[in-house]
């Protein structure tokens, strides 16, 4: 499978970011995936290798636009609060902190998640 320069660059940025951040049980990693059809978020404990909380626009029935990203941020913050998670490390997965990624992060912060 031939990858575009854009996706190769994103993968390089993703590796560079992941070399610096890890999630622990006390402060797990909040990883974001963005595609044209959906967005998904996972809160991961890297030490145990387990996903603690996950949410996606597909399960919310929302579109993957700015409004959907805001709903996803609120939903993941609520699920994290139910799992007694207050602080996370934000992993933007090589995407620019702009648009949908920024909207998701700000909505999660407003809903009470700290990062």
User: Which residue range(s) make up the domain with 18?
Assistant: 5-110
Q: What's the CA gap between 85 and 53, in Å, rounded?
A: 10
Q: Is 46 domain-assigned?
A: yes
When divided into structural domains, the chain yields a total of 1
Token pair for 48 = 């145990």
Residue 67 Cα distances to 28, 39, 73, 75, angstroms: 25, 12, 10, 12
User: Could you tell me if 88 and 43 are in contact, meaning their C-beta atoms sit under 8 angstroms apart?
Assistant: yes
CATH of the domain at 39: 3.30.420.100
pLDDT digits (tens, 9 = 90+) for 94-110: 999 999 999 999 999 99
Residue for token digits 């090589």?
94
Stated pTM of the model:
0.90
3 state DSSP class of 14:
helix
Residues of the chain with pLDDT under 70: none
Q: Is 63 domain-assigned?
A: yes
């Amino acid at each position: 499978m031939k990858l575009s320069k854009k996706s190769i660059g994103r993968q390089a940025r993703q590796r560079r970011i992941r070399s610096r951040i890890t999630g622990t049980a006390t402060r797990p990693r909040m990883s974001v995936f963005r595609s044209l059809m959906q967005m998904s978020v996972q809160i991961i404990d890297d030490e145990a290798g387990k996903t603690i909380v996950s949410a996606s626009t597909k399960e919310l029935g929302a579109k993957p636009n700015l409004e959907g990203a805001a709903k996803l941020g609120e939903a993941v913050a609520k699920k994290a609060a139910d799992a007694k998670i207050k602080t996370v490390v934000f992993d933007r997965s090589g995407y620019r902190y702009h648009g949908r990624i920024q909207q998701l992060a700000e909505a999660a912060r407003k809903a009470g998640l700290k990062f």
